[in-house]
Amino acid sequence: LWGQILDTLRTSYSDEIYEDLFEPLSSVKKVSGGYIYVLAPSEYVKDRIKRLYLTRINSLAESLYKKETIKFKFVLASEMVGEEALVGPEKNLDKKYRTGNLIATLSFDNFVVGKSNRFAFQMALKVADQPGIVANPFYIFGDVGLGKTHLMQAIGNYILDNDINQKVLYIKASDFIEELADQIKKEKMDQFNEKYRDLDVLLIDDIQMLAGAPKTQMEFFRLFDLLSQQNKQIVITSDKPASELKNIMSRLSSRFEQGLVVDIGIPDLEHRVEILRKKLSTEAPDVMDINPQVLEFIASYFTTNVRELEGALKRVLFYCVTNNIDITVDTAAEALDTLIKTRKKTEALTENNYDRIQSVVSDYYSISVHDLIGKRRNAKFTLPRHIAMYLIKNKYNIAYQTIGALFGGRDHSTVLAACEKIENDLKHNEQLKLAIDNILKKIDKPTN
């Protein structure tokens, strides 16, 4: 098996890396306690492998050897001396804990750290290093697609990498509800309790899903208490802070706040480019020499969701590979054309577009936006001001009051009067009609 893995590693990494790191790892020392021990020639090699390649090696082994979880441990000769102490007796683990719904590729080594997630990352690492001791529960919240599940899975994988005898279970809150309902119906609560109450680490994803499921909340509350009393690590993710969870029993949400709460925010441009670069290095190492501008181009369009960001990169790669063309900013733009267009359309509904109407109208009459929304009552300013109010009302049909707020806090009746005036004038003033048609054309024209 190790030979097979080495062969695969040889084809997926450069010769230098292979010769430096993997080639010296020729001998499997022993197989015990669920681990395969491989002798590392130096601390340096051991560390690098553990930090950068262990996850990849473990998942390769799993895919080659479909049976069950296989874990490698890289050790120095000196560490093998007191080997029995190192390993401990093998526990007879139930197979359901072997994988614990963990995905090996969601690890700390391929989680890109930046300002938006640094604290969450550092704390997750601490929790994983000393489960049950540092922070319990550990509560991660943030918007969709920002890496909560990834971080939670990384904690589980790390704990198992350190000690394969830990009973780690990852479960989505929605699946937890279903499983519980199922077991109640089948009168198999004993099995359910046995499975969950015996855990060392419980990772429960998207806890906000428990809203409106009071029975499940009760059961989860019991489980939570039982596990935390024994210092078993509980990790929770959510799309909002515990205090804002709706329809969740307050004694549950207040428990969540007693642990450590971290949030993950939106990555900045530099961070997003780094995420793309990391993704390339694992998914398509042969195109790592891609022009950095391409990555910046993609990162500048996909700003709020890492999953979408990665999807965009995949799309560009797929497009260029299947059409056999170079990856450039232009071809990337082609590949993402429809995606970017649909995004533009949805953005067209945001309030930035009130700004847009104001700026187009000011441009058209060669006045500043400041004067457009200002107090000056010269006809040079009042006509464009009334037109802008009228256009916003017609296009978005928002309240006069709201429009007034966009124009320096004018009241309802001022805006209403302006809109009525323009409407009346339009009935006979051909010039005004023409001007408004032209302005509308400019507003509808995409910015770039």
Q: Which residues are annotated as a binding site for ATP?
A: 145, 147-149
Binding part of the chain for ligand ADP, among 73-81, 110-118, 290-298, 377-385 by CB under 6 A, reads 110-118
189 binds, among ligand ADP, Mg ion, none (CB under 5 to 8 A by kind): none
Nearer to ligand ADP, 113 or 398 (CB): 113
Nearer to ligand ADP, 144 or 348 (CB): 144
Q: How far is the CB of 99 from Mg ion (least distance, A)?
A: 18
Q: How far is the CB of 172 from Mg ion (least distance, A)?
A: 8
Q: Scanning residues 244 to 303, which ones bind ligand ADP (CB under 6 A)? A: 275
58 binds, among Mg ion, ligand ADP, none (CB under 5 to 8 A by kind): none
Q: Cβ neighbours of residue 442 under 8 Å, at least 6 residues apart?
A: 360, 363, 364
Q: How far is the CB of 150 from Mg ion (least distance, A)?
A: 8
Q: How far is the CB of 239 from ligand ADP (least distance, A)?
A: 8
Q: How far is the CB of 312 from ligand ADP (least distance, A)?
A: 12
Work out whether 415 is an interface residue with ligand ADP (CB under 6 A).
no
Q: How far is the CB of 143 from ligand ADP (least distance, A)?
A: 7
Q: Scanning residues 122 to 161, which ones bind Mg ion (CB under 5 A)? A: 149
Nearer to Mg ion, 149 or 216 (CB): 149
Nearer to Mg ion, 35 or 141 (CB): 141
Work out whether 238 is an interface residue with Mg ion (CB under 5 A).
no
Residue 421 neighbours by CB distance under 10 Å: 16
Nearer to ligand ADP, 51 or 215 (CB): 51
Binding part of the chain for ligand ADP, among 65-73, 92-100, 108-116, 437-445 by CB under 6 A, reads 108-116
Letters for 143-162 (x = contact with ligand ADP by CB under 6 A, - = none) are: -xxxxxxx------------
Interface residue list for ligand ADP (CB under 6 A): 106, 110-112, 117, 142, 144-150, 275, 306-307, 310
